[in-house]
With several copies, the nearest count.
Chain A
Amino acid sequence: MKRDLRYFAWLRERIGTGHESIETEAATVADLIEELRQRDEAYAFAFSDTAAIRAALDQDLVELDTPLGDAREVAFFPPMTGG
């Protein structure tokens, strides 16, 4: 299935882009992280510590074990530091 991926903050910097569209069969957010990690060193580095990764499906924050379902936009980013 086609998904739009978004990366923010140091995840974006490590991966080298803030946006890409991919075809994936991953079932959950965690599966997708594992798939991305296999791609190359930049992704492996970006996703090396999953405790430091937050994810959103169609702009709603979710746990990493959440099924991707029919989410069109999957976003990855570090813990938020607003305020």
Chain B
Amino acid sequence: METVRVQSDLFDMGAELNAFAAAMAKKNAGAVVSFSGLTRDIATGDLDAMEIEHYPGMTEKALAKIRDEAIERFKLSDAMILHRHGRMEPGEPIMMVVTAARHRADAFQGAEFLMDYLKSRAPFWKKEITAQGAKWVAARDEDEDALSRW
């Protein structure tokens, strides 16, 4: 199982969770947390599609670094990051992180840490396509602020 994946293809959240959990059971990790981000209509209510641009090379490097740090800080048994780029339809999964640990607090914190860093430190940019045209999604101050707790 690749633990950092950047791809344009749709993926199956459930199959990813099951594959990850199967490996974790062998590592004696009882707590598995997943976060999935779905394309939704953030701003206007009439989203046709989402397009995600990324920085090939840097993306993989940034995600691997974030993952390593999460594993060390929260004593994770393992962690997986999967993020799409390109065009996606409303309701499709954009990305997913999964963490495993012996204790649930670590698995939860590890997943939140991954998400906070991924939101503001991994080179992805979202663009919403609506009937009115295309618009880059603005970064939220809350996302930047979320990093200060770690």
Contact = CB atoms under 8 A, between A and B. Distances in A.
Chains A, B in direct contact (C-beta < 8 Å) = yes
Interface of A: 6, 8-10, 12, 56, 59-61, 75, 77-83
A12 B125 CA distance: 12
Interface of B: 37, 52-55, 57-58, 61-62, 83, 94-95, 104, 115, 118-127, 136-139, 143-144
B125 A80 contact: yes
B136 A9 contact: yes
A83 B95 contact: yes
B78 to A, nearest CB: 20
A78 B125 CA distance: 8
A60 B64 CA distance: 12
Contact of A61 (B62, B127, B136, B138): B62
A83 B85 CA distance: 11
A10 B127 CA distance: 10
A12 B95 CA distance: 24
A80 B136 contact: no
B124 A81 contact: yes
Contacts of B126: 81-82
A6 B118 CA distance: 21
28 contacts: A6-B55, A8-B53, A8-B55, A8-B125, A56-B55, A56-B58, A59-B61, A59-B62, A61-B62, A75-B55, A75-B123, A78-B125, A78-B136, A78-B139, A79-B138, A79-B144, A80-B120, A80-B122, A80-B139, A81-B124, A81-B136, A81-B137, A82-B52, A82-B118, A82-B124, A82-B126, A83-B118, A83-B122
A80 B61 contact: no
Question: Which 10 pairs, one residue from A and one from B, show the smallest C-beta to C-beta distance?
Answer: A82-B124, A79-B139, A9-B125, A59-B58, A83-B119, A82-B122, A81-B126, A81-B137, A83-B118, A10-B136
A79 to B, nearest CB: 3
